Structure 1
Amino acid sequence: MAEEQGPGRQRIDKWLFFTRMAKSRSLAQTWIEAGHVAVNGDKVRRSSLEVKVGDRVEVVDRDRNMVLIVKAPGERRGPYEEARLLYEDQSPPRQKTTPYEQAIREAGSGRPEKKDRREIDRLRNRFSPFEDP
């Protein structure tokens, strides 16, 4: 049986899409099925779960952990200013990375190009023979 949408309720995948947390609804569904989304502390595995005002939604992404409180259901995917009214952001602040951590490449991303090598050398305080020390 299909769940009827009550007042102030919305499917979690639609809500993530309308709040601009996910670029598409299918991406939001993928996050949910992979277990990266929790509502009120419980992991969600169904994209048909409905969220209501006051629910705490936690999204764990590769780069960040988002903690959002639902303020309203969305009607459409609008601009950022409109989407921001749908939630209250309680995410922890991002950790700052050092220049050295930014210079580290992911495994399998290929050889560094000339510009990348020069930046890595500059970070490691190495000088090329063509530069004045």
Structure 2
Amino acid sequence: MRIDRLLCCLRFVRTRGAAQKLVEAGHLRVNGDRISRGSREIRVGDVLTFPLGSRIRIVEVLDLPQQRGPPRDAQACYRDLDPAGQSAIAADQLASQPQDAPQ
């Protein structure tokens, strides 16, 4: 399934056009590789990393939905690998710590 269609079916974005813009902006990674084309095929087991609002979402694809359905059905198709957004919080805390001066 194409990444732009998957993002829409999993209800991370409202439209396929919005998903396409997210992908073309270069903000999406699949298994750690930056993606810049909406035609990239996604398979079960792939890990997606992308910004959504003020959070960074990290999800594993468990199933490929056939169509955009209710939120409960969409949530059953992926597993949130960072449910509390701890990676974003940790990055903010690390950035706010003073750097040690070289000796």
Give TM-score, length-normalised by structure 2: 0.78
- Runs (5+) with no aligned partner, structure 1: 1-9, 96-133
Question: Which amino acid in the other structure matches residue 55 of structure 1?
Answer: D
Fraction of identical pairs, as percent: 37
Which structure has more relative contact order (CA 8 Å, sep 6+)? It is 2
Q: Structure 2 vs 1, CA of residues 40 and 94 (structure 1 numbering), >3 Å: closer, same or farther?
A: closer
Give how far 1:73 is off: 0.9
Q: Which has the larger radius of gyration?
A: 1
Counterpart amino acid of residue 26 in structure 1: G
* 21 and 51 in structure 1: CA distance in 2 versus 1, 3 angstrom threshold: same
CA positional deviation for 1:62? 4.1
TM-score (norm 1): 0.61
Give the total of aligned pairs: 86
- From 64, 71, 81, the equivalent of 1:90 is 81
Deviations 1:59-96 (A, max 9, x none): 1234110001011111111001110111001125247x
Which residue matches 1:15? 6
Name the counterpart of 1:44. Answer: 35
**1:65–1:92 CA contact under 8 A, matched in 2:** no
Residue 78 of structure 1 aligns with which residue?
A: 69
